Each structure stands twice: as structure tokens, then as C-alpha cells.
Chains A and B, each alone.
Chain A
Amino acid sequence: MLTVENLQKSYPTAGAPLEVLRDVSFTVARGEFVTVVGPSGAGKTTLLRCLAGLLPRSGGSVVLTGTGTVVDAPPQEVACVFQDYSRSLMPWSRVGRNVELPLRNTIRDRGERRRAVDVALRQVGLDGFADSYPWQLSGGMQQRVAIARAIAYRPEFLIMDEPFASVDAQTRADLEDLVLRIRQDAGLTVLLVTHDIDEAVYLGDRVVVLSNRPSVVVDVIDVDLPRPRGQVSTKGLPRFAELRTEVAKLITRPTASSWPHVDRTGKSELDRSS
């Protein structure tokens, strides 16, 4: 589905260029759920924006393998859910209109578009809220709207940037299970970026572990946990604990190359995920 090879990204600065991604390579197979986890400031958002075609790369390649599309601009097959729902929805538009806007170019017929919006809202448990404004909803519900917008777009590939980082724990668990269910129903391929190790292991078929900035792929862990997964049943498995410990060890181990760089440049405003 997606092949990322030797992806590099540096931002020009007044001094030396700020190297955020040094060498990132991994693949995502069709129908797979891959999570990317890394310490805060690891350039996760930068990675995601490069993969979504929102940010030009400095080197390497990002290719949608099914069609051979080189991702230089946002591809039709990809939908994104962003971290900050309060900023990613249009507060001047009602929920239904927020979901509908991207469909105007993909579904010509107005009635069919309307139905697609209704179906998507029902899938995220928001039927009856089409005429509400986003600011009338709770944070978790707003993120459901963003998810509805993404699935209504009928992507093959769903990219999510820390989508549950701004909601409380219970809502987060609900949304995680919602995404698992939707992915199951729609046969979506999903890439989800998170800083939460539990989440990465709980959701993923594989976990791509990133190092500190400048990021490289430290390891890719296969998550051999049975599906369907459940918040209590899966997280209670001894294997779950083993996997999360394995990932945690990889993340807390500082890569030798990263520290001098971080010390020199300090924390950068360029990385919105930090």
C-alpha cells in the first residue's frame, strides 16, 4: 500500500538546517494497521505531513504501491485526521457541512452526498448531530466528526496524527475502539501516529518505533495479539505487557546521534507534535 524509503526532512533555519527526519523507511501493507510511536519531539507530525503529501521531502521516496503514485501532493486515496479537532473543523459550518465539503468533488449527486454524510455520521455514532455546530459538541464528539469526514471521503488509506491526544482517558478508549471497528468494517489501511505506547501496541498490527530527532526507525515490532481486540481483554494479556515493555525500552534508549543535535538546536517550534 505504502512504501517509505530513506525519507529525509530538514527545515532551513538561520544557522544549520534543522534535521528532523534523518532516514525513515518502512512499509504498510494493504489492510494493515500500522502505528508509529516515538518520543515527543521525534518529528512524528513532520513524518505524517510528508506521507500525506502536505510537506515536501528533502530526500527519499514515498510511494503508494498499489497505484505507483509518488506522494508529492495530497493523493485522492488518502484521508487525514489531525490531532487538534478544535482547529481541524470549520466552526462556521454545521457538522453535516463539515463532513460534506470534501465530498463535493468526489460525489456529484447532492442526494447521494447527503446520504454518504448520514452514513458516516451514523458510523461514528453521531446520527442526529448533522445540524449542530462543532463548538456545541464535546471534544470527543468533535473528533468523531473529523473521523466521519475522513471515512465519508472513502479513502483507501487513513492517516491519523495523534488523534486521541486531546481527549480524556475514557473517551480515548472509546475512540480507539471506534477506529478499530471502522477499519474492520471498511477494510481500511491505517497509519496512526502516537506518543502513547499502550495505544500503539493496542491498535497496531505492527509498531514502527522512531528515535529522537533527527529521527530514524529504531525498530519495527510485530504485534502478535489476537483480533478483535478489547480494552480489557487485550490489555490484560501477558503478551501485551511484554510488547509494551519492548517498545518502551526502544523509546527510552537515547540514540547516540540524536543528543548532540538536540542540545545544539534546542526544541524547535517547527514540530507541531512536540
Chain B
Amino acid sequence: MTAAEAVGGRGRAAARVLVPLLVPAAIVVVWWFASAASTSPYFPPLSRILATFAEHWLGDRVVSDVLPSLGRMLAGFGAAVVVGVGLGALLGRLPLLAHALNPVLQFGRALPATALVPVSIAVLGIGNVPKILLIAFVTVFPVMLNTIDGVRGVDPVLEDVTRSYRLTRRQRLFRVQLPAAAPQVVAGVRVALGVAFVMMIVTELIAATNGIGFVTLIAQQSFRVSLMWSGMLLLGILGVAVNVLFALAERRLLRWYSHARED
């Protein structure tokens, strides 16, 4: 590689990082100046929103609200992944059972997630556990249904290989069927993650005592408009961060898949 190419390579790498940041930066600049002199009670200056953000979301509320929110989301989402992959793998290998349960699964999946919030409060009460259970219930379906599909869709040639080499059921499941299903499982998990994020907030809008959604709702009801806006900022940033983390994990896990498909 020549020196010029090295510089060019480095320039391109820098551009890859910088270009996607241009538009957000422009928005912040425009927002900053356009709102600087704002006296509207609904649209406070960005400077005040950011000050509120630093004061609340980088301060005590990390422990009192942000972490509880994220903890509930991860607990529910994590349980859904474990249960969804486990049940999905089982049902994928037992077509008759899957067929019998299909109407129930479709019914459960079709229930609008938000409509279940009052139901879960009525049945399970308030506190952390009902919220976690609700997040888990809603997110288990995309994981499980995708796992069923993926485990079922293992290439018949590969099934012949595993049978002719007399792999045990356990080896077939963990070494062949689940890895083969991974691209579809991950797609289901990605959907589940988005749903979990929404449900994290939704479960905090009724019968909650802490959390990002709770704080944002209270801020709106008590006319602390800057706090409300700063909550939106935080949710946006958290959402992007969660997606980036997931994309990194996915790229690592499915490296073979993207490469194998290029050939």
C-alpha cells in the first residue's frame, strides 16, 4: 500500500464515521438557534432541555429510573429469548404439537401488546414482576415463531448428513439445527427487541412508581416541559444504542451467514 492510498483509506474510514453524523449535527444546530429565543411553554430552548437532561438523566435518575427501566426490559426480553428459542426448537421438531398449538400461538401473537397492560395490572398487580412478565409475554412470540420456522427449515441434505453420521438428538439440535436456524432466530430477536423497548415505556405509563416512561409522563402532567423533552432525547439515544449493540452482536454471531451467502 502506498502512502497516498493509506491516507485515502484513512480518509474514507473517517468519512464513513463522519457522514452519518452530519445531519444530526445540523438538526441540533438549527434547533439550538431556532429555539434560543423561544418563550413558548411547549417548545423551550434546546439549551434548557440539555441542561435538564444533564441534571436529571445524568444524575440521580440513572439509578432511580433509567436502570430500573432497562433492567425490566432486559429481564423480560432475556426471558423471552430463552423461552422462545427453547419452546421454538421443541415445537420445530414436533410438527404435530406445533400444528395443534398454532391457533393459540397466533391468537397470543395477535393480541395488541398495549391492550395487555391493564389486563396484566388487573391480574398480576403492580410492581416489577408484572411488567417483566408482560414484556416477556409480548416478546416471546416473534422469537418462538421464528425459531420454529428456522429449525424446520434445515437443509434436508444437512439432515441426511447428521443422520448418516449418527449424531445424537442433542448434537443435532445444538450443533446443527439451532446454528442453521440462527439467522431466522436472530431476525425474530431483533423484532422482539424493538417490541421490548416499546413495552418498557408502555408498562411505565400506568401503575408505575419509577422508570423513564413514568418520569416523562409525570413531567408532562406537571408541565415540566423541558424534562418531558429531555426524556424523549434519552429514549432516542437509548434506542439507537440498543440497536447498535444488537447489530454488533448479530454481525459476530452470523458472520458465517453473510459470507456464505456472498458466494
CB <8 Å contact, B157 and A91: no
A54 to B157, CA, bound (A): 11
With A88-B158, A90-B158 given, is the CB distance from A101 to B164 under 8 Å? Answer: no
Q: How far is the CB of A117 from chain B (nearest CB, A)?
A: 14
Docked pose: A145 CA to B10 CA in angstroms: 39
B176–A90 contact, CB under 8 A? yes
A73-81, A195-203, A213-221, A232-240: which one contacts chain B?
A: A73-81
Judge whether B161 and A92 touch: CB under 8 Å.
Answer: no
| Number of A-B contacts defined by CB within 8 Å | 70
| Cβ contact within 8 Å between A91 and B163 | no
> Could you mark each residue 149-173 of chain B with 1 if its beta carbon is under 8 Å from any beta carbon of chain A, else 0?
0000001011011011111100100
- CB of A7, distance to nearest CB on chain B (Å): 18
User: Smallest CB-CB separation from B165: which chain A residue?
Assistant: A102
In the assembled complex, A108 has its CB within 8 A of some CB on chain B: no
Pairwise interchain contact A87-B155, C-beta atoms closer than 8 A = yes
B257 contacts A by Cβ under 8 Å: yes
Which listed residue, A74, A86, A136, touches B163 by the CB 8 Å rule?
A: A74
Contact A135 B260 (CB under 8 A): yes
Q: In the complex, A86 Cα to B168 Cα: how many Å? A: 23
Are A101 and B167 closer than 8 Å at their CB atoms?
yes
List residues of chain A with CB within 8 A of the CB of B179. Answer: 90, 92-93
Contacting residue for A74 out of B155, B166, B175, B260, CB 8 A: B166
User: What A residues does B171 contact at CB under 8 A?
Assistant: 101, 104-105
Interface presence of A52 (CB below 8 A): yes
Neighbour of A153 across the interface among B155, B165, B182, B257, CB < 8 A: B165
> With the chains together, A79 CA to B157 CA distance in Å?
14
Chain A residues contacting B175 (CB-CB under 8 Å) are 90, 93, 101
A contact residues around B155 at 8 Å (CB): 87
Tell me the nearest residue of chain A to B176, going by C-beta: A90
For chain B residues 96-152, which have a beta carbon within 8 Å of chain A? none
Q: Which residues of B contact A101 (CB under 8 A)?
A: 165, 167, 171, 175
Interface footprint category on B: 20 to 34
The minimal Cβ–Cβ distance linking B212 to chain A, given in whole angstroms, is 37
Cβ contact within 8 Å between A91 and B257: yes
A268 to chain B, nearest CB (A): 15
- Residue A49 at the B interface, CB < 8 A? yes
Does A135 lie within 8 Å of B263, measured CB to CB? yes
Q: Is A177 part of the contact surface with B, judged by Cβ < 8 Å?
A: no
A135 touches B160 (CB 8 A): no
Q: Given known contacts A90-B176, A101-B171, what 10 new A-B pairs fall within 8 Å (CB)?
A: A74-B165, A76-B166, A80-B160, A84-B157, A92-B257, A101-B175, A102-B167, A104-B171, A133-B259, A149-B165
Show the binding face of B for A, using Cβ within 8 Å: 155, 157-158, 160-161, 163-168, 171, 175-176, 179-180, 182, 256-257, 259-260, 263
- Chain A residues engaging chain B, CB cutoff 8 angstroms: 49, 52-54, 74, 76, 78-80, 82, 84, 86-88, 90-93, 101-102, 104-105, 133-136, 149, 153
A–B complex contacts, Cβ < 8 Å, 20 sampled: A54-B160, A54-B163, A54-B164, A80-B160, A80-B165, A86-B263, A87-B158, A88-B161, A90-B176, A91-B259, A91-B260, A92-B180, A92-B182, A93-B179, A101-B167, A101-B175, A105-B168, A133-B260, A135-B259, A149-B165
